[in-house]
Amino acid sequence: MKYISSSTSPQNQSTTMKSSKQRKLTTNKHSQKRRLMGWGKLVTSGLFLQLLLMASPSWGQEEKDKYTYSELLNDIDAGKVTQVEIDPRLQKATVTLENQEKTEEVPLFKQNPELIDRLKANDVKIDYNPSPDNSAMVRLMLQIPIIFLILIIVIAIVRRSANMSGQAMSFSKSRAKFQMEPKTGISFTDVAGIDEAKEELQEVVTFLKESEKFTAIGAKIPKGVLLIGPPGTGKTLLAKAVAGEAGVPFFSISGSEFVEMFVGVGASRVRDLFKKAKENAPCLIFIDEIDAVGRQRGVGYGGGNDEREQTLNQLLTEMDGFEGNTGIIVVAATNRPDVLDKALMRPGRFDRQVMVDYPDLKGRQGILEVHARDKKVDEEVSLEAIARRTPGFTGADLSNLLNEAAIFTARRRKEAITMEEINDAIDRVVAGMEGTPLVDSKSKRLIAYHEIGHALVATVITGHDPVEKVTLIPRGQAKGLTWFTPDEDSGLVTRNQLLARIAGLLGGRAAEEVIFGEDEVTTGAGNDIEKVTYLARQMVTRFGMSELGLLALEEDEQDNYAAFDEIATQIDTQINVIVEKCHQKAQTIIRENRAMVDRLVDILIDQETIEGDEFRQLLEKYKEPVDSAGPELCKSV
């Protein structure tokens, strides 16, 4: 009969050990750390106990060999003690025994009359040697950190108060940015599209560089140059170019940095600014948005004592007051010259007023050439064509246009900017981001009729700007768009052109009325009607192009209605007459070209976008009468 032993063989033991190791390796790190910490604590505890056991015999021996008070009394009576030195502060006695080199220390009670009596009875020498008292020093050492902390707090408070007083003293100092050698990185070669303004400021640079050439014949350097123009036209850019070309010390500050809530601070900053400028003359001072501090006096709630007016008074005095400021030229910029104080704009303060207006076709092309230097532009891109498509764009708008085109190019992973990116960038800058195209539905067809109505009336009627593009792709809040581009830039607009624009704006509503009926018109013409009303009102109240005659009946500062009800009624009547005539003209054009409208709508729905040249070619193609498919198409809508 065979028995199986419960013990395992060496091979089985190794297998068991391997499996045990594998189980240990599979445990998480947290359990391993706890186990190691447990073993560490156990080992530390064992070592500590071992040290205690090793040390305990010596402790017991020391307790056993310790000299006691009772033994001292017995040794005194036996005559073994020769000298006792008592320390009353520590309450202990150092005992010297006969025939022994070492001494013994014995703790004493607070009162030891028995010990003293026995020592005297046995003629034992007694010495009193109190140990030095270091408690005061210890207390002082403990108090030193507290004293040190208090000193730190006091020093911090003093420094903070000093900083606050320094800030209070510098509060009235000028905050103008100063450059001893201007490094604006801008020169006149970087300025384009505003040649007249650039020529004016080039003379200022010449004044600063070669002043003796003018003073030799009695000419005086102009004290101030005021740059006037719409936002984004390059006023600040011109000031940077003047600073970069002149190479003289340059101060730049905004008008809003003078004015504070505390009366007198702005005037103090003006004084400090001109003081620094006189120390560095000849120099340039550029004040941006000067209308923030230079508004007309006596029209505010603060009367003549408010902070802004005090600042303006000080500025007037510094520019042309009792003391001269030879060698200082002030260049200021504003887009609101109508609100500036008359004393600020007179000769002697701002001797020159330079208009920085919207660039013309040639100017826009020059601006595009400047901003295209650092961009990869395809050779097929025509900057002249871009300039023709962007009338009314400022220099800032054109810079943003090319930047948006560069972003489109990078997004589409192209190596250079093409006309496709340029066109998309123009659409985005003017109308907003492109939306999701509409699905083919009744709403899409209605929008197509609306946009074709705009384009058809504007093309057929005389005096309107040519159509650039008709599209059904939504942009911004508009579901469809019709673009117009003027042939040339002109600051003057004729009465016929204004009437043509009104009729073109009403073409969308006229198409809805003719095609779908007056009961099915939509709110799509809301923005068109606002523009129509504005143009008609300008014709009546400002341009004298109505039966009311050559009268300016409203001003910009007044409400839209005149002061008297009778004149207001006449104005409204004339506006209504102009708008109604243009409306009837637009309806007539749509009715006479009814079949052409249907054909164009089908093409627009199919292509979603029709360019201007293609649209005019389609008009020539469908000029002849066509079959009566139009009404049936309307019924399908």
Find the helix or strand (DSSP H, E) in which 448 lies: helix 442-460
Contact 228, 268 (CB under 8 A): no
Pairing of strands 609-611, 467-471: antiparallel
Partners of residue 125 on adjacent β-strands: 83
With the CA atoms of 428, 432, 438 and 444 taken in that order, what torsion angle do they form, in degrees rounded to the nearest 10? Answer: -100
E-assigned strands of 108-249?
125-128, 177-179, 224-228
Angle of CA points 555, 556, 562, to nearest 5°: 45
The pair of three-digit structure tokens given for residue 457, joined into one six-digit string:
């009336």
Find the helix or strand (DSSP H, E) in which 501 lies: helix 495-505
Provide the phi-psi class of 123: left if phi over 0, else alpha when psi is between -120 and 50, else beta: left
DSSP state of 165: H
How far is 254 from 287, CA to CA, in rounded Å? 5
What residues contact residue 141 under an 8 Å CB cut-off, 6+ apart?
none
| SS3 at position 90 | coil
| SS3 at position 312 | helix
- Give me the amino acid identity at 532: V
Distances (CA, A) of 469 to 320, 456, 466, 608, 618: 55, 12, 9, 11, 13
Q: In angstroms, what is the C-alpha Rg of the chain?
A: 49
How far is 193 from 154, CA to CA, in rounded Å? 63
E-assigned strands of 268-366?
283-288, 328-334, 352-355
How far is 385 from 635, CA to CA, in rounded Å? 42
E-assigned strands of 347-425?
352-355
How many other C-beta atoms can be found within 10 angstroms of the C-beta atom of residue 4?
5
Q: Residue 234 — φ and ψ, nearest 5°?
A: 110, 25
With the CA atoms of 9, 14, 17 and 21 taken in that order, what torsion angle do they form, in degrees rounded to the nearest 10? Answer: -160
Sheet bearing 250-254, strands edge to edge:
177-179, 250-254, 283-288, 328-334, 224-228, 352-355
Of 510, 454, 515, 504, nearest in space to 479 by CA: 454
E-assigned strands of 324-400?
328-334, 352-355
Please tell me which residue in 200, 451, 512, 554 is annotated as part of the active site. Answer: 451
Find the helix or strand (DSSP H, E) in which 611 lies: strand 609-611
Catalytic: 451? yes
Q: Residue 609 — φ and ψ, nearest 5°?
A: -145, 135
User: Active-site residues: which are they?
Assistant: 451
